[in-house]
């Protein structure tokens, strides 16, 4: 593979002549994969990182591998992503579900557990459908008081929060309390792939025994090189400027939707969910917005959200203007009226 990364017109450009490799252990690890893993470890201030084909695979593989190898009980937030649920289920280890973001319930469950058995507390920093944020530091402190490892999914936070884009834990200055952090190279970083970052010993356990790493093709060298460039951009002053514009943009969108009387689910993150509460009407609202107004927004139905919680999920970018948002509000007003949907803030 021949890969070069350079700056052209203030933008990062990756040029490459490369072919896909094999699995990570058989010709699928190049200089660019190693450079990416070193950069991710540096980003999260951890000893080591490990790159996977997606963060679904990273979460599934890491949770099931560590739980099996450590003979650990797992304590999981009820709002956790399907990839985390898959890893917990596939581990076949004892699991305990605590109410979403409920630190008291988490502590009650930990207090009842075997003090001599290994434990993993797994949760997300930003939840993708509701936009809620977890009390990261408090959860980590509770977990560590019962000698549990903390596993935190920062998929919806990396690139978007923190001084260098390392996520919500960096923004709240508690990243050192996370034992295993996972993230994506998609979403804010704009590519594909996922990763974990942790201590050298924990990462080596996953590298040595994780079937989701061992038995699948690695990401291409060009993707790895592009990811390093993207991380560097979002860790720079340019990235900080983009995050500030992004915050202003999604805050403005939320305010406009609330002012318009739509049932916005109030949350502190960049995700702006609008409750519909009916699967058919959610689908129709999506179709009418696109067909009549050329606006694409995704309807979210079961099993991604519980039945009765169907919603439209909006995420503004730094480049959405106030005029664009006003057009969206007018279009949404037309659709909401036509479908006789309720107007109240959640």
Contacts of 6 (CB under 8 A, 6+ apart): 12, 13, 15
Polymer length of the chain: 346
Which residues face 13 on adjacent strands? 6
Rounded CA-CA distance 78/183 in Å is 19
- As to burial, measured by CB atoms within 10 angstroms (0-12 exposed, 13-18 middle, 19+ buried), residue 20 is middle
Q: How far apart are CA 47 and CA 201, in angstroms?
A: 9
What is the reported pTM? 0.92
The pLDDT value given to residue 4: 56
Model confidence at 20, pLDDT cuts 50, 70, 90, reads low
**Residue 254 pLDDT greater than 90, yes or no:** yes
| Integer Cα distance of 171 and 162 in angstroms | 4
The rounded distance, in Å, linking the Cα atoms of 42 and 332 is 43
Is a pLDDT exceeding 80 seen at residue 22?
yes
Residue 1 banded pLDDT, cuts 50, 70, 90: very low
Mean pLDDT of 252-279: 95
Token pair of 167 as six digits: 């996520």
Region 178-192: mean pLDDT is 97
Q: What is residue 3's DSSP assignment? A: E
- Give the model's pLDDT for residue 3: 53
Please tell me which residue in 187, 245, 256, 281 is annotated as part of the active site.
187
Rounded CA separation 28/270 (Å): 36
pLDDT digits over 297-318, tens only? Answer: 999 999 999 999 999 999 999 9
Beta carbons of 277 and 309 less than 8 angstroms apart: yes
Q: β-strands 311-314, 272-275: how paired? A: antiparallel
Which DSSP state fits 23? B
90: its two tokens: 């596939």
pLDDT of residue 345: 60
List strands edge to edge, sheet with 180-184: 48-52, 194-198, 180-184, 149-153, 119-124, 73-77, 95-98
Interval 74-109: pLDDT, tens: 999 999 999 999 999 999 999 999 999 999 999 999
DSSP character for 261?
A: T
Q: pLDDT per residue over 198-237, tens digit each? A: 999 999 999 999 999 999 999 999 999 999 999 999 999 9
Over residues 251-271, the mean pLDDT reads 95
Q: Which of 316, 159, 184, 297 is nearest to 245 (CA)?
A: 316
User: Residue 344: which pLDDT band, with cuts at 50, 70 and 90?
Assistant: confident
Considering the chain, what percentage of its residues have pLDDT values greater than 90? Answer: 90
What pLDDT band is residue 36 in, cutting at 50, 70 and 90? very high
Report pLDDT digits (tens) over 133-153: 999 999 999 999 999 999 999
Distance between CA atoms of residues 201 and 192, nearest Å: 26
Better-scored residue on pLDDT, 126 or 12: 126
Give the side-chain half-sphere CA count within 13 A for 202: 24
* Gyration radius from the chain CA atoms: 21
Average pLDDT of the chain, as a whole number: 94
For residues 67 and 82, what is the distance between their CA atoms, to the nearest angstrom?
A: 17
As a whole number of angstroms, the distance between CA 205 and CA 209 comes to 6
* pLDDT score of 2 more than 80: no
pLDDT value of residue 21: 74
CA–CA separation, 287 and 293 (whole Å): 10
Q: Evaluate whether 134 touches 113 at the Cβ level (below 8 Å).
A: no
Name the phi and psi angles at 82, rounded to 5. -55, -35
CB atoms under 10 Å from CB of 135, counted, come to 16
pLDDT at 118: 98
pLDDT at 278 over 80: yes
Residue 245 known to be catalytic: no
Q: Which of 155, 158, 69, 166 is CA-nearest to residue 120?
A: 69
pLDDT value at residue 10 = 52
Helix (H) or strand (E) holding 136: helix 136-145
Angle at 334 between CA 331 and CA 340, to 5 degrees: 135
Q: What is the DSSP string of 46-85?
A: -SEEEEES-HHHHHHHHHHHHHHHHT-EEEEETT--HHHH
Residue 14, pLDDT score: 55
SS3 content of the chain, % helix, strand, coil (to 5): 45, 20, 35
């Amino acid at each position: 593979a021949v890969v070069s990364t350079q700056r052209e017109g203030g933008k990062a450009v990756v040029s490459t002549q490369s072919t896909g490799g094999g699995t990570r252990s058989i010709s699928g690890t190049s200089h660019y994969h190693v450079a990416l893993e070193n950069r991710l470890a540096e980003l999260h201030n951890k000893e080591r990182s490990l790159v996977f084909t997606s963060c679904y695979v990273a979460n599934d593989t890491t949770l099931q591998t560590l739980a099996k190898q450590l003979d650990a009980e797992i304590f999981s937030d009820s709002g956790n992503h399907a990839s985390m649920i898959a890893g917990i289920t596939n581990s076949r280890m004892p699991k305990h579900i605590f109410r979403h973001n409920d630190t008291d319930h988490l502590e009650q469950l930990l207090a009842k557990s075997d003090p001599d058995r290994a434990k993993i507390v797994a949760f997300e920093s930003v939840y993708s459908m509701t936009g809620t944020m977890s009390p990261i530091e408090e959860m980590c402190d509770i977990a560590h008081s019962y000698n549990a490892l903390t596993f935190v999914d920062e998929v919806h936070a990396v690139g978007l929060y923190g001084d260098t884009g390392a996520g919500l834990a960096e923004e709240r200055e508690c990243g050192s309390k996370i034992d295993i952090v996972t993230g994506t190279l998609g979403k804010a970083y704009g590519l594909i792939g996922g990763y974990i970052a942790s201590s050298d010993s924990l990462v080596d356990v996953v590298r040595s025994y994780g079937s989701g790493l061992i038995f699948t093709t690695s990401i291409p060298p060009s993707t790895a090189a592009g990811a390093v460039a993207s991380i560097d951009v979002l860790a720079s002053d340019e990235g900080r400027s983009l995050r500030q514009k992004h915050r202003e943009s999604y805050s403005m969108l939320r305010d406009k939707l609330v002012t318009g009387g739509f049932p916005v689910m109030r949350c502190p993150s960049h995700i702006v969910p609008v409750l519909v509460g009916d699967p058919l009407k959610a689908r129709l609202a999506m179709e009418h917005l696109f067909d009549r107004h050329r606006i694409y927004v995704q309807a979210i139905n079961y099993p991604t959200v519980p039945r009765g919680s169907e919603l439209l999920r909006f995420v503004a970018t730094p480049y959405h203007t106030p005029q664009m948002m006003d057009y969206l509000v007018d279009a949404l007003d037309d659709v909401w009226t036509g479908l006789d949907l309720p107007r109240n803030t959640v």
